[in-house]
């Protein structure tokens, strides 16, 4: 199956710093990638849809100035958590679907666990 990677897998930072998370599709090009957040014992919640070459589409309640998304190439989307606070501590997961009709599923990256002290 298609492979999606994320980096870093884990990050611990101080309150007020910014953290960048990378999501890469390794063996396919993705015009659209998705960013999710998952709190402990909760389900994945879609934060935003990342569109290559254009602005991301944010879900209701997600601050676009706090969660900056850049989809500069067909294989890379980045999520930057600006001025992180302890309540931003969560598991951030990206996903992408290979183009064409052959794939019905989205492939998920391994996730990034963010801890803000």
Interface residue list for another protein (CB under 8 A): 32, 34, 42-46, 49, 91, 93, 95, 97, 104-106, 108-111, 113
Report the DSSP beta bridge partners of residue 45.
37
Q: Are 97 and 107 in contact (CB under 8 A)?
A: yes
- Burial of residue 89 (number of CB atoms within 10 Å: 0-12, 13-18, 19+): middle
Name which of 75 and 111 has its Cβ closer to another protein: 111
Name which of 44 and 68 has its Cβ closer to another protein: 44
User: 10 Å Cβ neighbour count for 31?
Assistant: 14
Strand order in the sheet with 67-73: 4-7, 19-25, 76-81, 67-73
CB 39, min distance to another protein, A: 11
CB 37, min distance to another protein, A: 11
CB 83, min distance to another protein, A: 26
Name which of 38 and 82 has its Cβ closer to another protein: 38
CB 70, min distance to another protein, A: 20
Give me the torsion for CA of 78, 82, 88, 93, rounded to 10°: 0
Name which of 58 and 82 has its Cβ closer to another protein: 58
């Amino acid at each position: 199956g298609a492979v999606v990677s994320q980096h870093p897998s884990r990050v611990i930072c101080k309150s007020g710093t910014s953290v960048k998370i990378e999501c890469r599709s390794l063996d396919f090009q993705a015009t659209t990638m998705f960013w999710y957040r998952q709190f402990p014992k909760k389900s994945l919640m879609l934060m935003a849809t990342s569109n290559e070459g254009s602005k991301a589409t944010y879900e209701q309640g997600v601050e676009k100035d706090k969660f900056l998304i850049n989809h500069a190439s067909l294989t890379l989307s980045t999520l930057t958590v600006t001025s992180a606070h302890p309540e931003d501590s969560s598991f951030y997961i990206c996903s992408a679907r290979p183009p064409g009709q052959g794939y019905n599923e989205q492939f998920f990256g391994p996730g990034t666990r963010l801890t803000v002290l």
